[in-house]
Amino acid sequence: MTIAEAETAENMPSYWEVVLRAWEELDLPEGRRAEIIEGDITITLLSGLAESMSSAEAKELGVPSHWEVVLRAWEGLDLPEGWRAEIIEGDIKIMTPPSFEHAHIVTLIHKWLVLECHRKGSGVDGAEVYQNIGVRIPLRSGLYIPDLMVLPESVLSSGPEQMVNDAILVVEVTSKNTAKKDRKPKLWGYAHAEIPLYLLVDRWDPDSGRSEATLFSDPENGRYTSSVKVPFGKEIHLPTPFDSTLDTGEFPS
């Protein structure tokens, strides 16, 4: 670690400090309260109204729905530079800045995807690769910020809740504090949104104990019906519209 890196690490606020500050600054409507549970910010009702109330039902009663309240709270967050927050199954999850190894893997995949989107004859010719764009999935009370997402050029005219319908591929590279979310809640969320391909690059795969990459495909009824897993160092094939192979040989374990 360099002197500059050591000084940065020393001055960085702790995870608890950032979450506590975010909780203290929440501006919630009457009848709502927020708690910090296992590091996540959970917003609940003080009254007997159902948390699962739909936006239409809430509108009829003249109160904001749970999704609207959580989304508004997420939009009002003021986090330190490099930190970000997602909504996972209705709770606000705050994430630390990524490690060098995490960022390096994202960069390698980004470069490969950009080449694919500009390769003559590619099935994704003309598409664009984006980092850290919010994807709203109200059906799962989720707002995810995937590490990478491939979208057609036409998506720029879409709203934030329609963008997910056009996504071709999403990529998540796990960190220690996000791995469980990437493996299950986000897996279900992306499947419910019917995103055709979800590439999960898991540096701590719990099934094998190794660093592995899994490509999930063919979403149906809220789950992916196909998956292919390879250890770091092997190639993984992305089907149509890519029909190309990604080499994981340079991914740091």
Closest CA to 31 of 48, 54, 19: 48
The whole-model pTM stands at: 0.88
pLDDT at 64: 86
Tens digits of residue pLDDT in 62-89: 678 899 999 999 999 999 999 999 999 9
Closest CA to 184 of 212, 162, 206: 206
Bridge partners for 137 per DSSP: 142
pLDDT at 193: 94
pLDDT at 53: 60
**Residue 75 identity:** E
pLDDT at 176: 85
Strand pairing category for 91-95 and 84-88: antiparallel
pLDDT at 58: 62
List, in sequence order, every beta strand (DSSP E) within the chain.
32-37, 40-45, 84-88, 91-95, 128-130, 135-137, 142-144, 148-151, 169-173, 197-202, 212-220, 223-231, 235-238, 244-247
The correct CATH number of 100-247 out of 3.40.1010.10, 3.40.190.10, 1.20.1260.10, 3.90.1570.10 is: 3.90.1570.10
Q: Which residue has the tokens 């495909």?
A: 217
55 Cβ partners below 8 Å, 6+ apart?
A: 65, 67, 68, 138
pLDDT at 6: 43
pLDDT at 4: 43
Q: Which residues of the chain have pLDDT under 50?
A: 1-7
